A and B are shown apart, each in its own frame.
Chain A
Amino acid sequence: MTGQQTKPFGRADAPALLVRDLFKFHGPPGEEVGVLRGVSFQMERGEFLCIMGPSGSGKSSLLHLLAGLDQPSAGHIELFGSSLAEMAQRERTLLRRQAVGYVFQFFNLLPNLTVEENVGLPLAIRGQRPEHHQERIAALLTRFGIEDRARALPHQLSGGQMQRTSIARALVGEQPLLLADEPTGNLSQAHGIEILETLRRVCDEDGRSVLLVTHNPRDAAYADRVAFLVDGQLDPDHMLHGPGLTAQSVHEALVALHI
Chain B
Amino acid sequence: MALAEIVAWASLRRRPARTLFSILGVAVGIAVVVSIAVVDRTTLQNARPDRAQGWRADLEVRPAPGVVDPAAELAAIVGVERFTEVLQGEAQLQGVDDGGQPAGERAQARLIGLEPAAFDMGLLRLRSGTALGAANGGAPEVLLGAPLADRLGLDSGDAVWLAPPARAARVDCVEGALVQQRPAGPGPTPTEFRVSGVLEAEGAGRIASGELLVVDVSAARALLAGQFQPSSFWLARDERVAPEKLQERLVANFAVDLRRGAIVGQQADEVAFRNGVRLAGLLSLALGLYVIFHTLSMSLVERAREMATLQALGASRGQIARIVFSEALVIAALAGAVGLGLGLLLAKAMLEAGISSLGLTGDVRGQFDVPWDEVVPLVLAGVGIALLGSVAPLLRARENEAVPLLRGEDPGAASGKPGRGARSFHVATLLLVVAALPMAFFLALPLVGEAERQLIGLVLLGLGVLALLIGTPLLVPGPVAVLARSLADPLRRLSPFSGLLAARSISLSPTRVAASAAAVALVTAAFVGLRGMTSSLALENENWVQEGVMGKLWVYQLGGVPWQPLAQELRAQGLVQAVEPLDARLSAPFRVVGLPVAELAQAGLLAERPDLAARLSSAPSLVISRRLASQKNLRVGDQVAIATPSSGVVPFEVLAIDDRHGYLNRPHERAYAFAASTHMARLFCLETERSDTLALVLAPGADPLAVAEATKTYLRERGLGSDKTGFGLASDIATHERNDITRDFVVFDVILLLALLLAGTGVLNGLLLAAMERAKELGVLRALGADFGQIARSVLLESAFIGIVGGTLGLLLGLGLVPVVVSSLRVLSGLDLPQPGLQAIYLLGPALALGISVLGGLYPLWRMGRTDPVRAVRTG
Indicate which residue in A69, A127, A131 contacts B403 across the interface (CB closer than 8 Å): A69
| A112 close to B316 (CB less than 8 A) | no
Number of A-B residue pairs with CB-CB distance less than 8 Å in the complex they form: 98
Say yes or no for B3: interface residue by CB 8 A criterion.
yes
A30 CA to B309 CA, complexed, in Å: 31
Q: Mark B395-430, 1 if CB is under 8 A from A, else 0.
A: 000000111001110000011000000000000000
- Chain B, range 855-876, C-beta contacts under 8 Å to A: 871, 874-875
| B1 close to A124 (CB less than 8 A) | yes
Given contacts A28-B415, A117-B10, A124-B1, 16 further A-B contacts (CB under 8 A): A26-B414, A69-B311, A69-B402, A69-B403, A93-B314, A94-B314, A96-B314, A98-B314, A108-B305, A110-B306, A111-B14, A112-B14, A113-B7, A125-B3, A125-B315, A173-B314
Say yes or no for B156: interface residue by CB 8 A criterion.
no
8 contacts between A and B (CB under 8 A): A28-B415, A69-B406, A108-B309, A113-B7, A121-B3, A122-B314, A125-B313, A127-B2
Say yes or no for A143: interface residue by CB 8 A criterion.
no
Q: Which residues of A contact B302 (CB under 8 A)?
A: 111
A124 CA to B6 CA, complexed, in Å: 8
Q: Which residues of A contact B77 (CB under 8 A)?
A: none
Assuming the A-B contacts A64-B403, A124-B3, are A106 and B408 also in contact, with contact meaning beta carbons closer than 8 angstroms in the complex? Answer: yes
Q: Mark A84-122, 1 if CB is under 8 A from B, else 0.
A: 000000100110111010101010101111100100111
Q: Which residues of B contact A226 (CB under 8 A)?
A: none
Q: Which residues of A contact B875 (CB under 8 A)?
A: 154-155
> Which A residues fall within an 8 A CB radius of B?
26-28, 60-61, 64, 67, 69-70, 90, 93-94, 96-98, 100, 102, 104, 106, 108, 110-114, 117, 120-122, 124-127, 129-131, 153-155, 159, 169, 173
A258 CA to B382 CA, complexed, in Å: 63
- Chain B, range 1-46, C-beta contacts under 8 Å to A: 1-3, 6-7, 10-11, 13-15
Q: Which residues of A contact B314 (CB under 8 A)?
A: 93-94, 96-98, 100, 122, 125-126, 173
Q: Which residues of B contact A169 (CB under 8 A)?
A: 313
Indicate which residue in B6, B15, B309 contacts A130 across the interface (CB closer than 8 Å): B6
A27 CA to B404 CA, complexed, in Å: 13
Assuming the A-B contacts A64-B403, A113-B6, A155-B875, are A27 and B414 also in contact, with contact meaning beta carbons closer than 8 angstroms in the complex? Answer: yes
> Which B residues fall within an 8 A CB radius of A?
1-3, 6-7, 10-11, 13-15, 302, 305-306, 308-317, 319, 401-403, 406-408, 414-415, 871, 874-875
Q: Which residues of A contact B3 (CB under 8 A)?
A: 121, 124-125, 127
Indicate which residue in A26, A67, A90, A124 contacts B312 across the interface (CB closer than 8 Å): A67
Assuming the A-B contacts A27-B414, A28-B415, are A129 and B1 also in contact, with contact meaning beta carbons closer than 8 angstroms in the complex? Answer: yes
Q: Which residues of B contact A98 (CB under 8 A)?
A: 314
| A130 close to B414 (CB less than 8 A) | no
Indicate which residue in B10, B315, B317, B406 contacts A113 across the interface (CB closer than 8 Å): B10
Could you tell me the distance in whole angstroms from the C-beta of B43 to the nearest C-beta in chain A?
Answer: 46
Q: Which residues of B contact A125 (CB under 8 A)?
A: 3, 310, 313-315, 319
| B312 close to A102 (CB less than 8 A) | yes
| A117 close to B406 (CB less than 8 A) | no
| A155 close to B871 (CB less than 8 A) | yes
Q: Which 4 A-B pairs have the closest CB atoms?
A: A97-B314, A124-B3, A112-B10, A155-B875
Could you tell me the distance in whole angstroms from the C-beta of B569 to the nearest C-beta in chain A?
Answer: 88
A108 CA to B316 CA, complexed, in Å: 17
A154 CA to B302 CA, complexed, in Å: 14
A160 CA to B309 CA, complexed, in Å: 19
Q: Across the two chains, which residue of chain B brings its CB closest to A28?
A: B415
| A104 close to B406 (CB less than 8 A) | yes
| B311 close to A112 (CB less than 8 A) | no
Q: Which residues of A contact B401 (CB under 8 A)?
A: 70
Could you tell me the distance in whole angstroms from the C-beta of B326 to the nearest C-beta in chain A?
Answer: 13
| A110 close to B7 (CB less than 8 A) | yes
Assuming the A-B contacts A110-B309, A113-B6, A125-B310, are A93 and B14 also in contact, with contact meaning beta carbons closer than 8 angstroms in the complex? Answer: no
Could you tell me the distance in whole angstroms from the C-beta of B3 to the nearest C-beta in chain A?
Answer: 4
Could you tell me the distance in whole angstroms from the C-beta of B417 to the nearest C-beta in chain A?
Answer: 11
| B316 close to A93 (CB less than 8 A) | yes
| A90 close to B11 (CB less than 8 A) | no
| B408 close to A90 (CB less than 8 A) | no
Q: Which residues of B contact A27 (CB under 8 A)?
A: 414
Q: Which residues of B contact A155 (CB under 8 A)?
A: 871, 875
Q: Which residues of A contact B406 (CB under 8 A)?
A: 64, 69, 104, 106, 108
Q: Which residues of A contact B874 (CB under 8 A)?
A: 159
A61 CA to B402 CA, complexed, in Å: 12
A253 CA to B401 CA, complexed, in Å: 35
| A112 close to B15 (CB less than 8 A) | yes
Q: Which residues of B contact A111 (CB under 8 A)?
A: 14, 302, 306
| B11 close to A112 (CB less than 8 A) | yes
Could you tell me the distance in whole angstroms from the C-beta of A143 to the nearest C-beta in chain B?
Answer: 20
Could you tell me the distance in whole angstroms from the C-beta of A173 to the nearest C-beta in chain B?
Answer: 8
Q: Which residues of A contact B310 (CB under 8 A)?
A: 110, 121, 125
A163 CA to B736 CA, complexed, in Å: 74
Q: Across the two chains, which residue of chain B brings its CB closest to A90?
A: B316
Assuming the A-B contacts A90-B316, A110-B306, are A130 and B407 also in contact, with contact meaning beta carbons closer than 8 angstroms in the complex? Answer: no
A151 CA to B319 CA, complexed, in Å: 25
A67 CA to B15 CA, complexed, in Å: 31
Which of B2, B6, B308 is packed against the most chain A CB atoms within 10 Å?
B6
